[in-house]
Amino acid sequence: MPILFDAERRVFKLDAKGFTYAMMVYRENYLVHLYAGAPIPDTDLSYLMYRGWFDSLSPLNPQVEDPNFSVDIQPLEYPAGGAGDFRISALSVRGKAGDAVTDIRYVSHKIYQGKPALPGLPATFDREGAAQTLEVETLDAVTGVKATLLYTVFEDYPVIARSARVENTGDSPVNLERVYSACLDLPTMGWDMVHLYGRWAKENTTVRHPLQHGIQAIHSKRGMTGPNHSPFLALADHTATEETGEALGMSLLYSGNFAFDVEVDTRGCPRVLWGINPEEFRWRLEPGEAFQTPEAVLVYSANGLGGMSRTFHHFYLDHLCRSQWAKKKRPLLINSWEAAYFDFDDDKLVEFAKEAKALGIEMLVMDDGWFGNRCDDHRALGDWWVNEEKLKGGLSSLIQRVNDLGVQFGIWYEPEMINPDSDLYRAHPDWAIGVQGREHSLSRHQCVLDMTRQDVRDNIFQQMADVISQNNIAYIKWDCNRHISEAASAQLPPERQGEFFHRYVLGVYDLMDRITTAFPHILLENCSSGGGRFDPGMLYYSPQIWASDCTDPIERLSIQFGASLCYPIASLGAHVSASPRAGLETKGRVALCGTFGYELDPRKLTEEEREMVKAQVADYHKYYDLIHYGDFYRITSPTEDPFLCDWAFVSPDKTEMLFTRVVMRRPPNVYQPLRLPGLDPEKFYTDEDTGKVYSGALLQHGGLDLSSYGRNELSDGDSLVKHFVAR
Ligand code: DGJ
């Protein structure tokens, strides 16, 4: 049984594969956190609730009759604010008396097989019966607010999925002011925070720094996740490397305003909270109403950050990406954006398809510019009817011509947006998000549609469904090119405007759910000015996300390495473009560390380049399973090493490795074999290129001799690959 309740000690013990988590119900029904880490067999863990010294200024509940117990210093499962715990709190409810004191205590629990879906939200799932769930019910006796804490343990992964459901069982309305998805109270601050920051064209840059006393946080309040921070945080012990040491990975299945807050108290005990950003959030619960938080995922790794990432990769492909394309071979595509921008017509696209077909490419994606009078980015968002001046003969005729060449067809949408210069805006100006009496700020000349509204979603769904159902469309790129300002909905009463941002995200999820349910055959790729909404909430609907508008292969290294901390390689949208830095060979190798595709004018390729593209297409097929379903090892980090970037994919049975090196800047001539992780020391591997045989032990401990390649001969932007196969 992965979840045990020791009734005598009132201890809950959750045993995922390679990960133990424990909490207990203490006197007066306080729910106290005990442990999260490496597997342990014991259940008598109650002494773990005492951490550091007692602070004499901390409030005591006399009924507890324990002079060492105070909610201000004990580790708590889901701390609430105002009743003696002065650290950051996960829950804060303002009741009818106007105060925000919240004091939740254990009431009951249940344990059952499987994993519940979360209404209206993306959530991990259990298709194989490999999960068990614990629901712990807690109650604030004064307001009647019930908080049910959900924990799902996955037997096949060191993962626990958590969320909270808050219900108003009282007789008066209450306002939720903070309602995080999870809390983790740890005993020591010997951890580094590892997280991802960025901006447009520079998403997912890894940063690592030690925890400090006080509060440190990663937030979004853009209405979307944004490229600035990812809803992901790892704590790695100070000595942890890619392959050794402990790491705790925390991820949030949410695409809106999020917060990861870490407070290290005076005793050096960190508290981590992650969930919806409480800034600009307030949710009114009428009696009988309930609120479900987004899901938080917690991963434990005893094998460093690399082990943590591999767990996320496999777990998200198996238990989060619900698309039929998650583990089905995806078509190799070419996208029109960087090849043509807005300057295309049906004939040009057919020429692209013809050239692409000759190269072995399987799908043409028509990007922005096919609808309304969209001749540039100033107009037409919201008018999802086909521009027949550009696509003469209409969309069906174009798709037929492309399909006749043996090429599938994909299309671009930006469903959440509206330009003031559009028929939709002229008909429904109130559908754009805005505050009465204030000017709309524009970004890329556009406004955001009020996705909290059913009528808006119905309209966009119908416009999309009309096009999709009448045409042979195999793929959609769902773009989103601005964030939300002047946030308010014309349909929400003043006392509910604090709900706007979360309702917006629920609206987007609803529309994505409707599109993917109505057209399950469609491969959906998310995008937000590049990788601006690269988050696990989106992965639930779309198994791949365009990682960045930066297609420079050297810059892409840090973007893809960073994203790989939490997101599967199979989800990282990566294309070969005409970007001038580095040759076609390196561009192909970098894009192969992602979904792989093209984003260039195929008519402009030289004969030599065409041959190389054909070879890359062959590699895409040859290494598809290894890259999509294998284990990914980051070896030399492009943000840590000034010269080189190295990575490898190893097959699950360890019979195959694909190693890649990219020279960002030619290093000085030094001789240093590179140790390759992940291989079976007992197996013997043949270098496919040279025929030389190595034991896994030699490659792992002695290293691979790259002196005649990288260190001496490869120059800036060059790369090499090595394919090892076990005999
Ligand atoms: C931003 C995306 O990231 C690009 O790939 C492209 O689709 C443009 N939008 C189109 O407007």
Average pLDDT score over residue span 546-573 = 98
- Torsion sign across C-alpha atoms 77, 83, 87, 92: positive
Mark whether 479 is an active-site residue.
yes
Give residue 670's pLDDT.
65
Give residue 240's pLDDT.
98
Q: How far is the CA of 31 from the centre of ligand 1 (A)?
A: 48
Task: Give the number of the atom of ligand 1 that is nearest the alpha carbon of residue 412.
Answer: 7
Nearest to 330 by CA among 268, 441, 410: 410
Q: How far is the CA of 124 from the centre of ligand 1 (A)?
A: 29
Give residue 671's pLDDT.
72
Q: What is the pLDDT of residues 99-137, one digit of tens each?
A: 999 999 999 999 999 999 999 999 999 988 999 999 999
Q: What is the pLDDT of residues 386-428, one digit of tens each?
A: 999 999 999 999 999 999 999 999 999 999 999 999 999 999 9
Residue nearest to atom 11 of ligand 1 (CA): 368
Residues annotated in a binding site for substrate: 200, 367-368, 444, 477-481, 527, 549
Per-residue pLDDT at 58 exceeds 80: yes
Q: How far is the CA of 333 from the centre of ligand 1 (A)?
A: 15
Give residue 608's pLDDT.
98
Mark whether 601 is an active-site residue.
no
Per-residue pLDDT at 709 exceeds 80: no
Residue nearest to atom 10 of ligand 1 (CA): 368
Q: Which two tokens stand for residue 319?
A: 């238990």
Task: Give the number of the atom of ligand 1 that is nearest the alpha carbon of residue 549.
Answer: 3
Per-residue pLDDT at 710 exceeds 50: no
Using CA atoms, how far apart are residues 584 and 578, in angstroms rounded to an integer?
A: 8
Q: What 3-state class would DSSP assign to 260? A: strand
15, 549, 619, 718: the catalytic one is 549
Q: What 3-state class would DSSP assign to 628? A: helix
Give residue 55's pLDDT.
83
Residue nearest to atom 2 of ligand 1 (CA): 529
Q: Give Dmax over CA atoms of the chain in angstroms.
A: 83
Q: How far is the CA of 511 from the centre of ligand 1 (A)?
A: 20
Q: What is the pLDDT of residues 471-496, one digit of tens each?
A: 999 999 999 999 999 999 999 999 99
**β-strands 684-687, 719-726: how paired?**
antiparallel
Task: Give the number of the atom of ligand 1 that is nearest the alpha carbon of residue 477.
Answer: 7
* Mutation probe of ligand 1 site: the residue of 549, 559, 575, 595 with most atoms within 8 A of C-beta: 549
85, 479, 535, 631: the catalytic one is 479
Q: What is the pLDDT of residues 278-324, one digit of tens each?
A: 999 999 999 999 999 999 999 999 999 999 999 999 999 999 999 99
Give residue 711's pLDDT.
47
Instruction: Tell me the pLDDT band of 712, cut-offs 50, 70 and 90.
Output: low
Do 68 and 78 touch, CB atoms closer than 8 A? no
Give residue 264's pLDDT.
98
**Residue carrying the six token digits 């704590």:** 235
Residue nearest to atom 1 of ligand 1 (CA): 529
Give residue 54's pLDDT.
83
Task: Give the number of the atom of ligand 1 that is nearest the alpha carbon of residue 548.
Answer: 3
Q: What is the pLDDT of residues 646-695, one digit of tens each?
A: 999 999 999 999 999 999 998 877 678 999 999 999 999 999 999 999 99
Q: What is the pLDDT of residues 486-539, one digit of tens each?
A: 999 999 999 999 999 999 999 999 999 999 999 999 999 999 999 999 999 999
Q: How far is the CA of 479 from the centre of ligand 1 (A)?
A: 7
CA 471 to chain centre: 31
Give residue 708's pLDDT.
55
Q: What is the pLDDT of residues 247-280, one digit of tens each?
A: 999 999 999 999 999 999 999 999 999 999 999 9
Cα of first residue to Cα of last residue in the chain, in angstroms, is 40
Average pLDDT score over residue span 605-627 = 98
Per-residue pLDDT at 633 exceeds 70: yes
Average pLDDT score over residue span 614-620 = 98
Which regions of 467-549 does DSSP assign to beta strands (E)?
475-478, 523-526, 544-546
Average pLDDT score over residue span 237-256 = 98
